[in-house]
Amino acid sequence: EAGVAQSPRYKIIEKRQSVAFWCNPISGHATLYWYQQILGQGPKLLIQFQNNGVVDDSQLPKDRFSAERLKGVDSTLKIQPAKLEDSAVYLCASSLGLAETYEQYFGPGTRLTVT
């Protein structure tokens, strides 16, 4: 079974530029998560989708971050404009559903460096 796919794996941009990350979850997984992991810290949830609807985006900095999952499968996370403090690894995860006992499977992440 294929795992969670993310691209690109690495991205370097200058501040004030925009960037987009793509995630393809495991087939059949209804729930998709985006996490931000700053160096030396644990991942922090940015947004959670159930199919194509948003369950929780309370931690997403909506003035610069946006995310969508239009067809309930792939998802895109965008940052516009980027700031230096956005340098982090962006992790996508998916699970079968919302129940807390469902395991979340993580992708390899996209490492973003903002200069």
Partner 1 sequence: GDSVTQMEGPVTLSEEAFLTINCTYTATGYPSLFWYVQYPGEGLQLLLKATKADDKGSNKGFEATYRKETTSFHLEKGSVQVSDSAVYFCARTDSWGKLQFGAGTQVVVTP
Which residues form the interface with partner 1 (CB under 8 A)?
31, 33, 35, 40-45, 48, 55-56, 91, 93, 95, 97-109
Instruction: Kindly state the smallest distance separating residue 2's Cβ from partner 1, in Å.
Output: 14
Closer by beta carbon to partner 1, 72 or else 81: 72
CB 18 within 8 A of CB 81: yes
Closer by beta carbon to partner 1, 53 or else 70: 53
Q: What length is written for the chain?
A: 115
In one-letter notation, the amino acid at residue 32 is L
Closer by beta carbon to partner 1, 14 or else 98: 98
Instruction: Kindly state the smallest distance separating residue 104's Cβ from partner 1, in Å.
Output: 6
CB 76 within 8 A of CB 96: no
Distance (Å, whole) CA 2 – CA 10: 21
CB 90 within 8 A of CB 109: yes
Angle at 19 between CA 92 and CA 25, to 5 degrees: 20
Instruction: Kindly state the smallest distance separating residue 15's Cβ from partner 1, in Å.
Output: 26
Instruction: Kindly state the smallest distance separating residue 68's Cβ from partner 1, in Å.
Output: 19
